Copies of this chain bind each other. A is one copy, B any other.
């Protein structure tokens, strides 16, 4: 009898994805079944002899793991959008393929972006805090009590204007925004891809910004949705905030370090901007209760839940299994990283 192909999976998968994996009775499936992240020592021990490994964002894929696995390893399937946890060079020199799951979370992240925009404008964190503290009975009504800027007639500025930015814009159109501008790695140039057909068809102007100064100064809402690179790290700085409108809000659903946290704290404390809504932050998840940003009532911070919908996570799990199986059979993956 031929030896079965071994795969290691660092997590119990969501139902449909687990069933898809389990139908492959020709595979020897070694799986970490706890609800906690996989132990590194367990992974190194069991990787030996594996042809494929399905990993989470919390599992480092490096020389150590590849050596522990051995020369037969031919596919890493990562249940993630980013691949920062994977040493691409190490895979490339061994001709190991890398699958990932970047596309299916667009809707979930765009939904959360709209939520954070509205929460920043409408003071959701601040007003919920007052209710939770029992202060509502002592808030005498007056016409400007807990008011914030209205989204209608806003100019929305996108730092990065890929699939998620465009999906966000699509959702914002019926709120009555009046204009969108965007800054990409090619300032002043129109984007090539119109993912949802809105750029051509929208009834409002959608235009490239010449530079970050223009985007900061003309936007009522700034959406940070670009990749983190050396040139975008701390792109949103004290200078950026100083050019923003006093009634503007900023939302970050991309990567924490694009915004200089100290500059944001200062901008909020000095009322240079109206509010902020963050799904990501520098040094996450190591944010303690005494973090200075948490003392700013106009800042909403949620714990990186952009893609955290049941439907999206189910689809990511299923796609990661498909990528694993495709890698074993030398077939096309749903999404493969070019190494």
Beta-carbon nearest neighbor of A152 in chain B: B107
- Complex Cα–Cα for A175 and B56 (A): 28
* CB within 8 Å of B: which A273-305 residues: 284-290, 294, 300-303, 305
Contacts of A312 in B (CB 8 A): 150
Q: How many copies of the polypeptide does the oligomer hold?
A: 2
Given the known interface contacts A111-B175, A114-B114, A302-B131, the answer about A311 and B13 at a Cβ–Cβ threshold of 8 Å is: no
* Residues of A in contact, count (CB < 8 Å): 75
Given the known interface contacts A107-B152, A111-B122, A174-B170, the answer about A11 and B143 at a Cβ–Cβ threshold of 8 Å is: yes
Please tell me which one of the listed residues B112, B150, B153 contacts residue A122 in the complex, with CB atoms under 8 A apart: B112
Interface string of A182-201 (1 = CB under 8 A from B): 00000000000000000000
Taking the complex as formed, is A173 at the interface, i.e. its CB lies under 8 A from any CB of chain B?
Answer: yes
B289 touches A111 (CB 8 A): no
Contacts of A122 in B (CB 8 A): 111-112, 115, 302, 305, 308-309
Taking the complex as formed, is A203 at the interface, i.e. its CB lies under 8 A from any CB of chain B?
Answer: no
Please tell me which one of the listed residues B124, B137, B176, B285 contacts residue A137 in the complex, with CB atoms under 8 A apart: B285
B288 touches A137 (CB 8 A): yes
- Complex Cα–Cα for A170 and B174 (A): 6
Greatest chain B CB density within 10 A among A133, A149, A284, A302 is at: A302
Please tell me which one of the listed residues B56, B149, B170, B287 contacts residue A309 in the complex, with CB atoms under 8 A apart: B149
Beta-carbon nearest neighbor of A34 in chain B: B142
Query: What's the minimum C-beta distance from A174 to chain B, rounded to whole angstroms?
Result: 5
* CB within 8 Å of B: which A128-182 residues: 128, 130-134, 136-137, 139-153, 170-171, 173-176
Contacts of A132 in B (CB 8 A): 289, 294
Query: What's the minimum C-beta distance from A220 to chain B, rounded to whole angstroms?
Result: 11
B294 touches A146 (CB 8 A): no
Taking the complex as formed, is A231 at the interface, i.e. its CB lies under 8 A from any CB of chain B?
Answer: no
Query: What's the minimum C-beta distance from A77 to chain B, rounded to whole angstroms?
Result: 14
B37 touches A139 (CB 8 A): no
A147 touches B308 (CB 8 A): yes
A174 touches B176 (CB 8 A): no
Given the known interface contacts A149-B310, A174-B170, the answer about A305 and B123 at a Cβ–Cβ threshold of 8 Å is: yes
Please tell me which one of the listed residues B111, B137, B148, B300 contacts residue A286 in the complex, with CB atoms under 8 A apart: B137
B317 touches A143 (CB 8 A): yes
Beta-carbon nearest neighbor of A301 in chain B: B131
Given A128-B300, A146-B303; 9 other pairs, CB 8 A cutoff: A14-B143, A111-B150, A111-B151, A115-B118, A125-B128, A134-B289, A147-B310, A173-B174, A174-B174
Q: Would you give 17 A-B contacts (Cβ < 8 Å), ordered by A?
A: A11-B143, A14-B143, A56-B141, A111-B175, A112-B118, A115-B122, A119-B124, A123-B305, A131-B287, A134-B288, A136-B284, A139-B303, A143-B313, A146-B305, A146-B308, A148-B309, A149-B309
